[in-house]
Amino acid sequence: MDLDVGNALAAVAEPGVPRDALERLDDRVAAAHERIERGVANGEFGYASLNLPETADTAAVETAADRIGDVDHVILVGIGGSALGAATLADALAGPDAAELHVLDNVDPAAVERTLDRIDLASAAVNVVSQSGTTAETLANFLVVRDAMADAGVDWTDRTVVTTGDAGNLRDLADAHDLPSVSVPDGVPGRFSVLSTVGLLPAALLGVDTDGLLAGASAAREKLGPSLFDSPAYAYGALAYALDVRGASMDVMMPYAEGLETFAEWFAQLWAESLGKDGLGQTPVRALGATDQHSQLQLYRAGPHDKLVTFVGVDDRPDVPIPSADLEGLDYLSGASLGGLLDAELDATEASLAAAGVPNLRVQLDAVDAESVGELLFSMEAACVLAGELYGVETFDQPAVEWGKEAARGLLRGDRTLDEGDSLEVE
Ligand SMILES: O=P(O)(O)OC[C@H]1O[C@](O)(CO)[C@@H](O)[C@@H]1O
C-alpha cells in the first residue's frame, strides 16, 4: 500500500498542511508511536487490536468452519463492527463460486423477510456475532432466523456457529446447545475486530484467503514506526487529523473499486465511533468512484473547503475491453478498457480537486486481493489509533451510543417516555 500526501500540503490545498507543520507534527507522532507500542506490548484494551496479525485465533476459525462444512448461503447476524468487517471481506474477496453472504444488520422487517425468503435455509449456515451478546438487533434477528429454520424443517443447531465473548446470552446459548463457537478476543473493540475471529470466521466460510489477509496486516504492522514519513498508516492518521484541525471536518472515503464500497462503510464506523468524542472528530463520508463523480463531486470541488477526500486506487485488476463503435464524439473510447477508463477518471478527479485547492490523499493498492486488503484494513486501524492519540480522546470506547439504547429498551418495556427535543408537525 502506498500513500501520496502531496495534495494535502499547503502548497496545493486550502486547508492544507505546511511542510514545517508536518515536520513538527512528526515529533508528536514519535511520542504517540511510543505510547501505542507500550499499549500493544501490554495488551491494553483497544491497543491489543494492533496485535491481531500475530494473535488471531486461526485454529479456532478453522475448527468452527470445518464443523459447518460447505453451504450455499451464510447468514451473518450481527451489527456494527460485528457485521461490517465480514461484509467488507466478502465484498472485496469472496470468489464467484463462494457461498452467498447475507448480512442481517438491521431490524427492518421487510428487509429481513425479503432476505430470508431468498435463501434455501437447508443449505445455509448462520453465524451470529455479538461481542456483548446483548445487542437487541442481533438477538432479535437471530430469534427470527432460528424460527424460520425450524419452520423450514432445518435443525438450527446443526447450522449455527456463534461468535461472542466469554459471557452473555450468546455464550449461554452456545453452551446450552453445544454449538460451534469462537471467542471474540479480549481487548478488541468491535470496529477493530475484522482481523480477529469476528471477521475471519465468515471469511473462512466464504473461502477467503485468511492467511493472506493476516500476512498483509503483518506487513502493515511492520511499517509502524516513530516517523510518519516512513509509515503510510501513521501518515494517513496524522494528515487527516492535521487537516481536520485546519477546517477539513469531513473525510470522504472514495475507493475506485466496486469491491471496496463496503470498506468505506467499515471505515465510517471505525473513524466516527473512535474519534467522535469530547466535541471532536472528523465526519466520515462514504463515496464510490467513478459513480459518485456524477452525484457528489460538484459539492466536493465547488462547495465549502471543509472536507478531505481520500482516494483509493488499485494497480492491477481484471479488465474488460470497450468494443469499438462508430459513435460521434466517443473516439477516445476506441481501444480503451473499462479499467483504463476508471483509472483515467480517478487521476482526473484527483487533479480536478487539487486544481481547486481541495485537500485529498491517495491510497494506492497493488490489487484487491487478500494481502492488499489486509494491509489496508490494518493500516486504517493504526491510522485511527494514531489520530486518537493526536486528538487526545479515548479511542476505544463508545459511551455516547448507550443513551439511545437505554431509551429504546425503556420504550419497549413501556416504562420510559421521551421528553427531550421538540416537535413541529409539517403536513
Ligand atoms: O458486538 P456487539 O456487542 O453486538 O456490538 C455491536 C456494535 O454495537 C456497538 O457496541 C455500538 O452500539 C459497536 O461498538 C459494536 O460494533
Ligand 1 in reach of 284 Cβ (< 6 A):
no
| Centre of ligand 1 from the C-alpha of residue 18, in Å | 38
Does residue 135 line the site of ligand 1, with CB under 6 A? yes
Query: Which of 126-140, 175-189, 198-212, 321-335 has the least mean pLDDT?
Result: 321-335
Whether residue 261 has pLDDT greater than 90:
yes
Please say if the pLDDT value at position 327 is more than 90: no
At residue 193, φ and ψ (nearest 5 deg) are: -100, 5
Do domains 2-36+214-391 and 57-184 share one topology? The answer is: yes
Q: What pLDDT is stored for residue 411 in this prediction?
A: 96
- The contacts of residue 14 (CB under 8 Å, 6+ apart) are 305, 357, 359
Q: Could you tell me the pLDDT band of residue 302, with boundaries at 50, 70 and 90?
A: very high
Catalytic residue numbers, as ranges: 273, 294, 405
The class that CATH gives domain 57-184 is alpha beta
Q: Is the confidence at residue 321, as pLDDT, over 90?
A: yes
Q: 89-118 pLDDT, tens per residue?
A: 999 999 999 999 999 999 999 999 999 999
- Cβ of 105 below 6 Å from ligand 1: no
For residue 128, what pLDDT band results from cuts at 50, 70 and 90?
A: very high
**Taking 90 as the threshold, does the pLDDT of residue 326 lie above it?**
no
Spatial neighbors of 424 by CB under 8 A, at least 6 apart, are none
Candidates 171, 164, 190, 201; CA nearest to 74 is 201
The pLDDT value recorded for residue 177 is: 96
152-170 per-position pLDDT tens digit: 999 999 999 999 999 999 9
pLDDT (0 to 100) of residue 141: 98
Query: Is the CB of residue 55 less than 8 Å from the CB of residue 286?
Result: no
pLDDT of residue 147: 98
80 CA from centroid of ligand 1 (Å): 6
The protein residue whose alpha carbon is closest to atom 14 in ligand 1 is 190
Q: Which fold has domain 2-36+214-391?
A: Rossmann fold (3.40.50)
Place of cell 437487541: 136
HSE (CB half, 13 Å, CA atoms) of 50? 30
The three cell numbers of residue 369 are 486481493
Whether 169 lines ligand 1, by a CB cut-off of 6 Å, is: no
* Pocket flag, ligand 1, residue 191 (CB < 6 Å): yes
Asked whether 385 and 237 are in contact (CB, 8 A), the reply is yes
> Which of 105, 131, 170, 196 should be mutated for ligand 1, with most atoms under 8 A from CB?
131
Region 347-374 average pLDDT: 98
**Three cell numbers written together for 281:** 472528530
Listed by start position, the domains of the chain span 2-36+214-391, 57-184, 400-427
Stretch 69-89: mean pLDDT: 97
Q: What does R_g of the chain's alpha carbons equal in angstroms?
A: 23
Atom 12 in ligand 1: residue holding the nearest Cα: 401
Residue range 202-245, pLDDT digits in tens? 999 999 999 999 999 999 999 999 999 999 999 999 999 999 99
Confidence category of residue 322, pLDDT binned at 50, 70, 90? very high
**Confidence band, pLDDT 50/70/90 cuts, at residue 380:** very high
Percent of the chain beyond pLDDT 90?
97
pLDDT score for 325: 86
